[in-house]
C-alpha cells in the first residue's frame, strides 16, 4: 500500500455512518414493506433501462479503449435481456421467506423465564466484488430482504453501470426506507475500500467476493468481521469401486460445465486399481472438450500424453480448461492429498463402496462434500437456499453457500415476571 493518505477517507467514513444509520431503519421494516421495496427496485431496473444501458456503454467504451480482453468485456456487458434477468432476480428475492424474526429455538426455564433466540439483521454490510454489474442488484436485494444496509464496491471497470443501477435502486426504495440502505462507494480509490475494513462499530461485516488476492488482502487488513468466499481448489476422487460411466460424467461436468467458477474441479484423483482401465476413457472425454491435463508420472504412463504436473499445479485454482491428474493408492492417499492442497470448498468422491463414501464425507474438511455428484452443485440455488450471496470457505458463522439466513445474526429475547438470580 502506498503511504499517501486516502483522498476521500472522510467521505467513505461518512458513507459508512449514513449506511449504519439506515441499517437501523431497514432492520425494523415489515416483510410487506421490504417486498414492496424489492418490487419497486425491479420496476426501476426496467423503467431506467435506457439510462443504465447508456452508462454501461460508457464502461464498455473505456474498457475497450484500455484493451480489455473479450471474455472480460462479456462479463461487463449489459443488454435488455440481462437487465430483465436482473429485475427478475430481485423479484425472486421478494418471493423468498423473510429470515428476520424467525424463532430459532424457544425454551421455558425452570424459573419461568421464557427464552427465545430470534433471527435479526447484522447491520451494515460492505460487499466488494468484481466486474459483473448484475451483482450490484443481486447483493442489494439480498441485503435489503435480510434487513441489512449495504455499501457496495463493484469493479472499477463497471463503475458507471453500478452507479446507474444503484441510483435507480435508491430512488425505488426511497418511499419505504432511507435510501442510504443501498449505497455504492463513491470512490474508485483502493485505499478508500481498505479504510472501510477497519471501521469497527460502523461496518458490521465485509464480504469480499473475488479472487484469492482480494480475499487475502481483506483478511489481512480487516479488523471488522469478514467472510471469506470463493477460492475453490476442488477435487474429484474416483475410488476403485466407482461406476465408470458415472465417473466420466462427473469429472467432465465438474471440470467443463463452467470452468471459470469456484465450484469447478481442478484436480482429478484416481485410484491405482481402476486407473489403467478408466483413466484413458476420462482422458478421451476431456480431450474432446479441449481440456489440458497436468499429470503425475503414473497417469502419464497410462495415458501416454499430458503435461507433467509441477508441485504448484496441485495447489492451483486454474479456473480454466486445465485439470491436474494424480493416481493415488486408495482412500488414505486421496484424503491426505485433499487435506494438503484443498481450500475447504467442495470435494467429491465417486464410489460404490458405502464405507469409503462415509469416511470421505466424515474426514474431508470442506464446506461441501459430495458422494456421486458433481462439485458444481455448491451453489445456493442448487442446494435449496433460493438465493446466494457467496460461498464461504471459512468455518465460522457460515460455511458453503450463504443465503438470506446467513446474512443474519440472532439475539436472545428473555421475558420474565420479575426473576432475579
Residues interacting with its own copies, by CB under 8 A? 24, 28, 107, 109, 113, 115, 120, 122-123, 200, 204-205, 219-220, 223, 225, 227, 243, 246, 249-250, 252-254, 257, 339, 357, 361-363, 365-374, 376-378, 382-384, 394-397, 399-401, 409-421
Region of residue 112 (phi > 0: left; psi between -120 and 50: alpha; otherwise: beta): left
Phi, psi of 322 (to 5 degrees): -135, 135
Minimum distance from CB of 143 to its own copies (Å)? 14
Phi, psi of 240 (to 5 degrees): -60, -30
Minimum distance from CB of 200 to its own copies (Å)? 7
Contact 118, 104 (CB under 8 A): yes
- Between CA 53 and CA 83 the distance in angstroms is 9
Minimum distance from CB of 250 to its own copies (Å)? 6
What is Dmax (Cα atoms) for the chain? Answer: 79
Minimum distance from CB of 405 to its own copies (Å)? 10
Contact 189, 178 (CB under 8 A): no
- Between CA 86 and CA 135 the distance in angstroms is 9
The residue (of 289 and 301) whose beta carbon lies closer to its own copies is 289
The residue (of 191 and 397) whose beta carbon lies closer to its own copies is 397
Contact 150, 128 (CB under 8 A): no
Minimum distance from CB of 176 to its own copies (Å)? 18
The residue (of 390 and 400) whose beta carbon lies closer to its own copies is 400
Query: Which of these, 48, 40, 43, lies nearest to 174 by C-alpha position?
Result: 40
Contact 214, 208 (CB under 8 A): yes
- Between CA 134 and CA 90 the distance in angstroms is 10
The residue (of 15 and 343) whose beta carbon lies closer to its own copies is 343
The residue (of 73 and 194) whose beta carbon lies closer to its own copies is 194
Minimum distance from CB of 308 to its own copies (Å)? 28
Residue 265 β-bridge partners: 234
Minimum distance from CB of 310 to its own copies (Å)? 22
Place of cell 489403467: 276
Minimum distance from CB of 196 to its own copies (Å)? 16
Place of cell 458463522: 397
Q: How far is CA 81 from CA 49, 215, 372, in A?
A: 10, 31, 35
Minimum distance from CB of 257 to its own copies (Å)? 6
The residue (of 188 and 377) whose beta carbon lies closer to its own copies is 377
C-alpha cell read off for 146: 435480510
The residue (of 68 and 375) whose beta carbon lies closer to its own copies is 375
The residue (of 3 and 420) whose beta carbon lies closer to its own copies is 420
Contact 102, 410 (CB under 8 A): no
The residue (of 157 and 347) whose beta carbon lies closer to its own copies is 347
Query: Which of these, 418, 408, 307, lies nearest to 103 by C-alpha position?
Result: 408
Amino acid at each position: 500500500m502506498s503511504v499517501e493518505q486516502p483522498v476521500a477517507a472522510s467521505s467513505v467514513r461518512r458513507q459508512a455512518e449514513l449506511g449504519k444509520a439506515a441499517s437501523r431503519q431497514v432492520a425494523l421494516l415489515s416483510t410487506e414493506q421490504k417486498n414492496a421495496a424489492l418490487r419497486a427496485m425491479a420496476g426501476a431496473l426496467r423503467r431506467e433501462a435506457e439510462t443504465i444501458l447508456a452508462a454501461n456503454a460508457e464502461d464498455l467504451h473505456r474498457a475497450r479503449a484500455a484493451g480489455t480482453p473479450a471474455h472480460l468485456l462479456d462479463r461487463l456487458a449489459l443488454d435488455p435481456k440481462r437487465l430483465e434477468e436482473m429485475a427478475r432476480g430481485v423479484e425472486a428475492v421478494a418471493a423468498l421467506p423473510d429470515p428476520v424474526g424467525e424463532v430459532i429455538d424457544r425454551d421455558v426455564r425452570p424459573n419461568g423465564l421464557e427464552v427465545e433466540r430470534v433471527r435479526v439483521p447484522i447491520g451494515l454490510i460492505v460487499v466488494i466484488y468484481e466486474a459483473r454489474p448484475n451483482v450490484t442488484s443481486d447483493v442489494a436485494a439480498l441485503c435489503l430482504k435480510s434487513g441489512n444496509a449495504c455499501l457496495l464496491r463493484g469493479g472499477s471497470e463497471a463503475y458507471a453501470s453500478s452507479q446507474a443501477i444503484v441510483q435507480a435502486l435508491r430512488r425505488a426504495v426511497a418511499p419505504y426506507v432511507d435510501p442510504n440502505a443501498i449505497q455504492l462507494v463513491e470512490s474508485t480509490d483502493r485505499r478508500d475500500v481498505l479504510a472501510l475494513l477497519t471501521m469497527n462499530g460502523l461496518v458490521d461485516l465485509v464480504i469480499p467476493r473475488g479472487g484469492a488476492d482480494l480475499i487475502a488482502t481483506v483478511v489481512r487488513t480487516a479488523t471488522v468481521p469478514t467472510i471469506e468466499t470463493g477460492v475453490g481448489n476442488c477435487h474429484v476422487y474416483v475410488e476403485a469401486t466407482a461406476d465408470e460411466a458415472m465417473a466420466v460424467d462427473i469429472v467432465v461436468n465438474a471440470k467443463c460445465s463452467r470452468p471459470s467458477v469456484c465450484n469447478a474441479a481442478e484436480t482429478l484423483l484416481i485410484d491405482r486399481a481402476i486407473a489403467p482401465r478408466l483413466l484413458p476413457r476420462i482422458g478421451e472425454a476431456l480431450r474432446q472438450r479441449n481440456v489440458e491435463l497436468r499429470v503425475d508420472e503414473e497417469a502419464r504412463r497410462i495415458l501416454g500424453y499430458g503435461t507433467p504436473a509441477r508441485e504448484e499445479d496441485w495447489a492451483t485454482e486454474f479456473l480454466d480448461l486445465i485439470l491436474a491428474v494424480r493416481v493415488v493408492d486408495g482412500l488414505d492417499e486421496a484424503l491426505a492429498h485433499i487435506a494438503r492442497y484443498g481450500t475447504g470448498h467442495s470435494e467429491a468422491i465417486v464410489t460404490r463402496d458405502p464405507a469409503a463414501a462415509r469416511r470421505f464425507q466424515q474426514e474431508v474438511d470442506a464446506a461441501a462434500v459430495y458422494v456421486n455428484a458433481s462439485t458444481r452443485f455448491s451453489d445456493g440455488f442448487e442446494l435449496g437456499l433460493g438465493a446466494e450471496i457467496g460461498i464461504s470457505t471459512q468455518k465460522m458463522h457460515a460455511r458453503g453457500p450463504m443465503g438470506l439466513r446467513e446474512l443474519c445474526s440472532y439475539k436472545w429475547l428473555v421475558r420474565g415476571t420479575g426473576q432475579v438470580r
